[in-house]
Amino acid sequence: MVSMSFGERALHLLGVGLARCFYRVTTIGREHLPAQGFLLLPNHISWVDAVLLQVACPRPIRYIIDASIYQNRILNPIFRSLRCIPIDSRHSRDAIREAAQRIAQGEIVCLFPEGQLTRSGTLLRLRRGYELIARQANAPVVPVWLDQLWGSIFSYKGGRFFTKWPRNIPYRVTVAFGEPLSAEAADIATVREELLKLGEFCYSGRRALDRHLADACVRGLKRRRFATAIVDGIDHSRLSRSKLLAAAAALSRYLRREFPDDRIGIVLPAGKGAVIANLAVALAGKVPVGLNFTSGRAAIESSCRLANLRVVISATPFMQRLKDFPWPESVVKLDELMPRLKRQILFWWTMSILAPTGLLLCMLKIPEEGGHKEAVLLFTSGSSGDPKGVVLSHRNVIGNVSQFNVLLDAGKDDAILASLPFFHSFGSTVTLWYVLIEGIRIVTYPNPLEAAKNAALIERYKLTLLLATPTFLRAYLRKVEPNQLRSLRLVITGAEKLPLDLAKSFEERFAQKVFEGYGLTETAPVVSVNLPDPRPRKPGEEVQPSSRLGSVGKMAPGIAAEIRDPESDDKLSLHETGMLWLRGPNIFEGYLQDPERTAEVLRNGWFKTGDIGRFDEDGFLYIEGRLSRFSKIGGEMVPHEALEQKIITALGLDGKDERLIAIVGVSDEAKGEAVVLLAAIDVDLARLRPKLNELGVPNLWIPKKVYRIESIPTLASGKLDLSRCKQLAETSD
């Protein structure tokens, strides 16, 4: 054991003592710390990270500190007493040598491998200097994660340090030590992977994630209760947060009294009625089921049968528009029922304003915890077959809302255009539950394809956030004037791959960059998203990148990732290309009444996404495509989406056009599989082949045949209808 001097002991007692007055530190994994010297590698969230690490660690830690900070006149005596090691990037050898010697003497040396405080709450690029220290000392490397410090006054949340009020005193922090890695094994990719796993472990252990979804919504709506929650884009009526809660509470009492069913379907487009209905079902202790009313009758009947739905909520005008919808035995028509509940709504409006939150929750009979119980049921788009029922728990929805909230960091002046249907996972979490819990204003419109009317709402209400799919953005290019989108600060797209030419055309027309994100219904759905890079505070200042062309952004906090071989499931480096597996509080509970397919994708808490991906050293995720959108020909994996982009370039197709081509894999006797091209335009394969060769496309990738069809099958979200495409490819001559 390394002894401490009197001065060091005094400073240690003073610093640790003060930290314990303001922080409650929970330490996990202390048993992993080696008895001998080792190198400690933490994430870097706040200015007090070093102090809190020392609170959690039973032995003194020697910190490697930038020489410019070490030489500060006021702090230098403290750093010297604590035996910190100064390092200068231009002359780092001496510091590396001293650190290795300290470790050899049995001491703990700590280096923040990111080299700077995060400005976004996500893990930055890891610098390679730690590898030199570990190998020179031939010492174990211990990753450590500091959790819940993002948002403290010493972090950069909100775009500033120090000048914000603390959320709580004492402030709860978790410090989790990982298992030691050998110096040889502790490369950049492995350390990042282990840090993300520790981060996920800490995030998933947060008690707030076990709340009931209705509890989280009530608490969210009780804040700023007189502020506008919803503006309906059809009639421009407004609902305050307290009135929204009152209307939903009154409807929830009716649902609880009249229907014993555990699940209630909702057949409504985005609008105030749909928000009230979803919230009311949650307040009633039941599960809202988003039904995709744009699907065919057979798919809807399958969904209703699977969910055992006997009751749905809708409205007479909308029902009249759905000519072939298989309505169940009971339909609650909001336009007829809500006027009869005026007295109840007035009562709950009074309670929502005057009653303390705890009393209101008690009156509504909302459980304190939801945890892993079913909270929301959504159905997959069915792009590759019949829709599957995706069971999202209270933890899934609340967890993903909190993850997205860290990424977006929205302010009280932000407002979202909510035109995505709530049966869509992005619409459900981000434009429904997120806005209810976090207090973001929304303007609703029932059809995302009516770009001109959506743009008019953006212009009229000075909206700042637009969430869309590439299909919907194409409509904006054709029908919207550039100045109508001036108020937007962020345009995020998902659900399908963002074509680079579409992104370029959109930016040129509207002076708005499009930021691509990634998610799945099974991940509740947000996994990652690109965001605007921060502006440098002074000329020449290096900024931490928040976006990267071609990627789907950095992962949300609390999600761990592995890359595995698609065939053998052997683990690969994060920097290699392979099957993406994810773990986190947002990973769904399983497919409804389908244990076989659930077992295929959920293993020991890890979710097999079905997507082929990789990470770069800055942590940006690149999705190469769905495994179902690859063909294996002659032992080589041929990516359909990449080939489609090459064909679009070769044919000179404009990104503003609708989808005109699709690559499909079909059985082939000679090579097992072959790719064919479905085209809604005339394509001469003989002329296409040399153009593809010029673009560097291997002969193995070039389509074997071209089939001319009327239109490329797509789903309502704009996703390719893979099942229908394959059917066309196999039946065409």
For residue 170, whether the previous peptide bond is cis, meaning omega lies within 30 degrees of 0, is yes
Q: Is 688 helix (H, G, I), strand (E, B) or coil?
A: helix
Mean pLDDT of all residues in 63-84: 78
Q: What confidence category does residue 670 fall into, taking pLDDT thresholds of 50, 70 and 90?
A: low
The pLDDT value given to residue 587: 95
Phi, psi of 210 (to 5 degrees): -90, 0
User: Does the pLDDT value for residue 542 go beyond 80?
Assistant: no
The pLDDT value given to residue 219: 94
| Count of residues making up the chain | 733
User: Does the pLDDT value for residue 576 go beyond 70?
Assistant: yes
Tokens of 225: 């209760």
CA 729, CA 533: separation in Å to the nearest integer?
A: 43
The pLDDT value given to residue 101: 86
Task: Report the DSSP pairing between strands 465-468 and 490-493.
Answer: parallel
Q: What confidence category does residue 552 fall into, taking pLDDT thresholds of 50, 70 and 90?
A: very high
> By mean pLDDT, which of 311-325, 328-342, 490-504 is the weakest?
490-504
**Closest listed residue to residue 310, CA positions, set 255, 375, 361, 390:** 255
Mean pLDDT of all residues in 205-230: 93
Alpha helices (H) along 382-536? 394-408, 425-428, 434-438, 451-461, 470-479, 500-510
Count of C-beta atoms within a 10 Å radius of residue 70: 18
| DSSP string covering 501-520 | HHHHHHHHHHS--EEEEEE-
Task: Report the DSSP pairing between strands 554-555 and 526-529.
Answer: antiparallel
More confident residue, 640 or 454: 454
Task: Report the DSSP pairing between strands 606-615 and 578-583.
Answer: antiparallel
Q: What confidence category does residue 638 fall into, taking pLDDT thresholds of 50, 70 and 90?
A: confident
User: Does the pLDDT value for residue 17 go beyond 70?
Assistant: no
For the chain, the first-to-last Cα distance in angstroms comes to 79
Amino acid found at 438:
E
Q: What confidence category does residue 719 fall into, taking pLDDT thresholds of 50, 70 and 90?
A: confident
Q: What confidence category does residue 11 fall into, taking pLDDT thresholds of 50, 70 and 90?
A: low
Amino acid found at 308:
N
Mean pLDDT of all residues in 623-649: 78
Question: HSE-up of 138 (CA within 13 Å, CB side)?
Answer: 0
Q: Domains (ranges, CATH) in the chain? A: 6-205 (3.40.1130.10), 548-625 (2.30.38.10), 634-731 (3.30.300.30)
Tokens of 45: 């969230």
* Whole-structure pTM value: 0.85
The pLDDT value given to residue 388: 87
- With a pLDDT cut of 90, the percent of the chain lying above it is 45
Q: What is the mean pLDDT of the chain?
A: 87
The pLDDT value given to residue 176: 94
**Closest listed residue to residue 561, CA positions, set 551, 552, 571:** 571
> By mean pLDDT, which of 165-174, 266-275, 454-463 is the weakest?
165-174
Q: Which of 247-256, 497-506, 543-552 holds the top average pLDDT?
A: 247-256
User: Does the pLDDT value for residue 550 go beyond 60?
Assistant: yes
